[in-house]
Amino acid sequence: MIAIQISTPGQIGITEISAGPELGSGDVRLQMKVVGYCGSDLSTFQGRNPMVSFPRIPGHEVGAVILETGSGVPDSFQSGMTVTVSPYTSCGKCAACQSGRNNACENNETLGVQRDGALRPELVIPWQRVIPNSNLSFAELALVEPLSVGFHAVSRGRVQPGDTVAVIGCGVIGLGAIAGAADAGARVIALDVADSKLELARACGAAEVVNSMESDPAEQLSAMTNGLGPKVIIEAVGLPATFRFAVDAVSYTGTVVYIGYAKTPVEYDTSLFVKKEIDIRGSRNALPEDFDRVIQYLEKRLLPLDQVISKTVSLAEGPQAMEDWAANPGDITKIHVNV
């Protein structure tokens, strides 16, 4: 069968791969229907993803159908069921797994990153990673994983009803954080440099928005919070400037959550850590309960699907779509590939 493959940084195309593997005990064979391009796939194409070796088949945001199941798979998993997947692995032995937080497994291998991904017609995966749902479309199922990353950041921030939460960056992960915080009853302020992204943030639940290219974001956040600062700031960009800004702008005794990570070292005025007595938390991937919350959210039909999905292309058109995204990243929120 054929697949989309990134052979080296900047080189992407269609390649032939073997049809295997055979089903093992506990495995499920899935037929891919819709797979989303993730920002990590874009980083891989651009040669900025240190966790990737080449060549690599990208893709871990999945809407699929069960084709067949192997021995040892529960009877509740049947061919023809529509599903999404949790694309991570967990070793069960590291400190994160032993503490019940296998989303942060030290030895995690994510589809499309440390191992070949889902941009191919079929995929074999352990049944424990398969999440059936008959109420969502394939496009919605392919949005579950990226939105779950944002919802997990909301959980890491311990967001409560009535909190003021600022989200920096309105890509799909940031939109997940916006939707998750709003769904939790928080007042959400979205920050970005593009008005189009801020309009989408409003549609996903942001009560107020700040274009940080048109006004001083620190002054805006201060004015919007009576000089106190947001209780929680979620950083979904991954730049040294926004890493520092989150610490500067968060309220005293507030919480900063980092989803992205800066590619270069970050210098801080560490006195603010102590003076404000702030919590600084990382947020990686998502837990099963985050997937469940996103599915429940999507079933409410609150997400402006047509606005979030910038374009949908065929498998054959997938390589060109990636090249176009790399050339104009600000114009794209989400690309879906109909496999």
* Percentage of the chain modeled with pLDDT above 70: 100
Asked if the model's pLDDT at residue 95 lies above 90, the reply is: yes
* 324 in the same domain as 261: no
Please give the residue range of the domain that contains residue 254: 148-282
Specify the range with the lowest mean pLDDT, choosing from 10-24, 69-83, 138-152, 212-226: 10-24
* 229 in the same domain as 115: no
| Mean pLDDT within 84-93 | 97
* Count of CA atoms in the C-beta half-sphere (13 A) of 132: 13
Q: Looking at residue 174, what is its pLDDT? A: 97
How many domains in the chain?
2
Cα distances (angstroms) measured from residue 143 to each of 126, 130, 148: 20, 15, 8
* 162 in the same domain as 46: no
The rounded Cα 60 to chain-centroid distance in angstroms is 10
| Mean pLDDT within 297-313 | 97
| Mean pLDDT within 98-119 | 97
Contact status, residue 217 vs residue 239, Cβ threshold 8 Å: no
Q: Looking at residue 331, what is its pLDDT? A: 86
Kindly state the tokens that stand for 333.
């929120």
Residue 290 lies in a domain: no
* 275 in the same domain as 243: yes
Over the stretch 191-200, which tens digit does the pLDDT of each residue have?
999 999 999 9
* 316 in the same domain as 273: no
* Contacts with 306 (C-beta within 8 Å, 6 or more apart), sequence order: none
Q: Looking at residue 262, what is its pLDDT? A: 87
Supply the DSSP string of 106-138, one letter for each residue.
Answer: TT---BTTTB--S-SSEEEEEGGGEEE-SSS-H
Asked if the model's pLDDT at residue 33 lies above 90, the reply is: yes
* 174 in the same domain as 117: no
Over the stretch 121-147, which tens digit does the pLDDT of each residue have?
999 999 999 999 999 999 999 999 999
Residue 331 lies in a domain: yes
Query: Average pLDDT over the chain, rounded to whole?
Result: 96
* 161 in the same domain as 59: no
Supply the DSSP string of 50-109, one letter for each residue.
Answer: TT--SSB----EEEEEEEEE-TT--TT--TT-EEEE------S-SHHHHTT-GGG-TT--
Kindly state the tokens that stand for 127.
């049944």
* 270 in the same domain as 225: yes
How many angstroms separate the CA atoms of 57 and 16, rounded?
11
Residue 140 lies in a domain: no
| Mean pLDDT within 163-167 | 98
Q: Looking at residue 29, what is its pLDDT? A: 97
Over the stretch 240-289, which tens digit does the pLDDT of each residue have?
999 999 999 999 999 999 998 888 999 999 999 999 999 999 999 999 99
Supply the DSSP string of 241-310, one letter for each residue.
Answer: HHHHHHHHHSPTT-EEEE-S--SS-----THHHHHTT-EEEE--S--HHHHHHHHHHHHTT-S-HHHH--
Q: Looking at residue 261, what is its pLDDT? A: 84
Nearest CA to 39 out of 169, 155, 127, 131 is that of: 169
We report the CATH number of the domain holding residue 108 as: 3.90.180.10
* 153 in the same domain as 125: no
Contact status, residue 51 vs residue 11, Cβ threshold 8 Å: no
Parallel/antiparallel/unpaired status of strands 187-192 and 164-168: parallel
**Radius of gyration for the chain, computed over Cα atoms and rounded to the nearest angstrom:** 20
How many angstroms separate the CA atoms of 336 and 310, rounded?
8
Q: Looking at residue 260, what is its pLDDT? A: 85
Asked if the model's pLDDT at residue 20 lies above 80, the reply is: no
* 152 in the same domain as 253: yes
Residue 243 lies in a domain: yes
Q: Looking at residue 8, what is its pLDDT? A: 97
What DSSP state is assigned to residue 192? E
Q: Model confidence at 153, in pLDDT bands (50, 70, 90)?
A: very high
* 189 in the same domain as 165: yes
* 268 in the same domain as 159: yes
Residue 234 lies in a domain: yes
